[in-house]
Amino acid sequence: MQENKYNDLMQKIELEELTQTNIDVESYIQLLAIYLYQDKIADAKYLWRRIPQVLKEDNNELERLNLVMCTLIANNATDFFRQVDYPWSANIKHIMQDLFERMRSDVLTLVGQAYISIFEHDLMQLTHLSRDELKQACQALDWKYENEDQKAVIIPKKPAPNTEFTASSEDLLLKLTDFVSFLEN
């Protein structure tokens, strides 16, 4: 993930929010979308609370971003893909597309680490991919298909173990918590 991809725009909007009394709803929408893309869920939640209620009630896109944020908080990938499928305005369309791709990649990575095998239909629902797109993604990841004539089963290839240990115990605990939460959902 390119964590710094939208940093300049984010800093500009944050500065605008601090220095001006009234910022437009488009700036709030962009900032919220950037926070979601950068996985800054706490920042997104606090921003949602700061946005004036009048702006929230009158803007469908802002409400939809809140629903997307709620799915990320709940770590519900299926609902995320359902909520992110929306005709976003031009100023955040590329951000939401990047978020969509990042989440799809994250889900495939988790499936590759956690599953020995998974039904094609289940993975299609989980990733919101068509059958052809899923086959292409699986080929790119070097995953195997079995029983293609019947109920297809995908066998993920286990990623090579990372021999470099750089994560702190807090980071590892957070990742383990996220992983268990993902499996429970």
Residue 34, classified by CB atoms within 10 Å of its CB into exposed (0-12), middle (13-18) or buried (19+), is buried
pLDDT at 18 (0 to 100): 86
Question: What is the value of pTM for the model shown?
Answer: 0.77
Q: C-alpha 60: how far from its chain's center?
A: 20
Q: Which of 98, 82, 89, 80 has its CA nearest to residue 61?
A: 89
Q: What is the pLDDT of residues 109-126, one digit of tens each?
A: 999 988 899 999 999 988
Domain boundaries, the chain: 7-115+156-184
pLDDT at 172 (0 to 100): 83
